[in-house]
Amino acid sequence: MPNKSPQRLALATYVRLTRAANAARSHAASHLGGTGLTLTQFAVLEALYHLGPMSLSDIAQKILTTGGNLTMVVGNLEKLGLAHRQKCPEDRRQLIVVLSSKGKALIRKIFPEHAAAITEFMAALSPAQQEELGDLCRQLGRREPAIN
């Protein structure tokens, strides 16, 4: 490997990481095409299916999106009859998002295909490489954001 400056190496690595993340997202989205769901809608359904009813802020934290975007996404899921908002039984001031029976049936049906598609995509790496990549991504994800 030629001797690169720290900046050039960081930028080149960042571009590769971004391209890989975009390829993974695109691959996952292509398997959702027949459902009419966006990746974010699918992520909300999947989080609710596996973790149970949650507030919008909890969902946003789990699926790494903004609250404003999530409000629209949940609204669209409600229009499709896949989820609904209701008052939290423990704190009536708070709203939680709950899967409808139609939403549960849909995610139960499409999640196995989605998991298989992700497994297929990741098969480009050996299990050891997947572990290493996961560890490296976790390490990067724990970095504190720079304050401007």
- Domain for residue 50, yes or no? yes
Range of the domain at 86: 36-139
**Residue pair 44/54 in contact by the 8 Å Cβ criterion:** no
If you average pLDDT over residues 96-110, what whole number do you get?
A: 96
pLDDT, tens digit (0-9, with 9 covering 90-100), for 20-39? 999 998 888 888 878 889 99
Residue 147 has pLDDT above 70, yes or no: no
Total number of domains in the chain: 1
Q: What is the pLDDT of residue 53?
A: 95
If you average pLDDT over residues 64-68, what whole number do you get?
A: 79
- Domain for residue 88, yes or no? yes
Q: What is the pLDDT of residue 69?
A: 85
CATH assignment at residue 104: 1.10.10.10
Residue 134 has pLDDT above 70, yes or no: yes
- Domain for residue 47, yes or no? yes
If you average pLDDT over residues 80-98, what whole number do you get?
A: 90
SS (H, E, C) the chain: CCCCCHHHHHHHHHHHHHHHHHHHHHHHHHCCHHHCCCHHHHHHHHHHHHHCCECHHHHHHHHCCCHHHHHHHHHHHHHCCCEEEEECCCCCCCEEEEECHHHHHHHHHHHHHHHHHHHHHHCCCCHHHHHHHHHHHHHHHCCCCCCC
- Domain for residue 77, yes or no? yes
- Domain for residue 99, yes or no? yes
- Domain for residue 67, yes or no? yes
- Domain for residue 119, yes or no? yes
If you average pLDDT over residues 99-106, what whole number do you get?
A: 97
Q: What percent of the chain has pLDDT over 90?
A: 65
Give the pLDDT band of residue 66 (cuts 50, 70, 90).
Answer: confident
Query: Nearest 5°: CA angle at 110, between 104 and 114?
Result: 130
Q: What is the pLDDT of residue 101?
A: 97
Average pLDDT in the chain: 90
Q: What is the pLDDT of residue 2?
A: 63
Please tell me the pTM assigned to this model: 0.82
